[in-house]
Amino acid sequence: MSDRVALITGGARGIGRAIALDLAAGHWSVAIAYRTSEKEAAETAQAIVERGGKSLALRGDVSDPAAARQLVQEVERTWGRLDALINCAGPYHRVNLLEETPEGWAEMFANNLHPAFFLALAAVPGMKARKYGRIITFSMANADQMVAQPEVTAHYIAKSGLLILTRTLAKLLAPHGITVNAVSPGFIDSGSAPPGELAGMAKKVPAGYIGEVSDTVAAVRFLLSDEARYVNGTNIHVSGGWGI
């Protein structure tokens, strides 16, 4: 797995950062794409090098198809290839559906669903030419249940749409040696929620505890591995049984 190249959106912080550092330990070249987290991106890029990888920190708004294309092109210019595209960027906001604005509604799709499509369009030609590629999208653990979500409606619909996009790309790209899979975390201690809130969430998890970032990283590591070459179009729940 050494000497491979990955592009991770949302790679400056949280789960994306943890994936980047894990790949660095395997001597991957890792490009992290960020929009506003410049300081965190610089720190993560340095940490990648310290762990044995090569790094590239790229600012870009992946909701813009031209910017998404430029990110992929920059990675390919720098390292000559792109083996893995990992879509970790996925902001959300909580607001009752009846109080949502048209701008807020559109923002959830622009930043969660559309980038995975734009980046795939840019990355696939090179992967097809090399007859190898791994694409991973991040959904959420109950997105395949189609349940009501009054406070995060647009975000939830976008995450459900990602599952359809994942399966469709998997079917189209399988003949070219490319796998496309989804990882769907539940409650993960990624630093985005205060400890008190996490403690309350644990009561909803059948396993009885909140997951660690390393649990999600392990799922990604498997999907990127050669052992997962025949795993395509799947959705791995990393949730301790929540959301199923």
Contacts of the segment 166-175: beta carbons below 8 A, 24+ positions apart: 166/116, 166/135, 166/137, 166/139, 166/233, 166/235, 167/233, 169/120, 169/135, 170/232, 170/233, 171/233, 173/124, 173/127, 173/128, 173/133, 173/135, 174/232, 174/233
pLDDT at 8 over 70: yes
Residue 72's pLDDT is 98
Residue 8 in 3-state DSSP?
A: strand
Token pair 């949730």: residue: 239
**Cα 71 from Cα 68, distance rounded (Å):** 5
Of the CA atoms within 13 Å of residue 54, those in its CB half-sphere come to 11
**Cα 33 from Cα 41, distance rounded (Å):** 8
CA nearest 221: which of 84, 94, 126? 84
Contact 68, 62 (CB under 8 A): yes
**Cα 10 from Cα 66, distance rounded (Å):** 18
CATH of domain 5-238: 3.40.50.720
**Cα 62 from Cα 113, distance rounded (Å):** 10
Q: Which range among 17-21, 191-195, 199-203, 229-233 shows the weakest confidence by mean pLDDT?
A: 191-195
Q: How confident is the model at residue 91 (pLDDT cuts 50, 70, 90)?
A: confident
pTM above 0.85, yes or no: yes
**Cα 108 from Cα 142, distance rounded (Å):** 17
Taking only the tens place, the pLDDT of each residue in 23-52 is 999 999 999 999 988 999 999 999 999 999
Residue 209's pLDDT is 94
Just list the catalytic residues: 156
Taking only the tens place, the pLDDT of each residue in 140-172 is 999 999 999 999 999 999 999 999 999 999 999
**Ramachandran class of 240: left when φ > 0, alpha when ψ lies in -120 to 50, beta otherwise:** left
Residue 2's pLDDT is 60
Looking at residue 117, its amino acid is F
Distances from the Cα of 220 to the Cα of 93, 143, 157, 231, angstroms: 25, 18, 23, 12
Q: How confident is the model at residue 1 (pLDDT cuts 50, 70, 90)?
A: low
Please state whether beta strands 54-59 and 133-138 pair in parallel, antiparallel, or not at all (unpaired). Answer: unpaired
Residue 103, Cβ density class (10 Å: 0-12 exposed, 13-18 middle, ≥19 buried): exposed
Q: How confident is the model at residue 200 (pLDDT cuts 50, 70, 90)?
A: confident
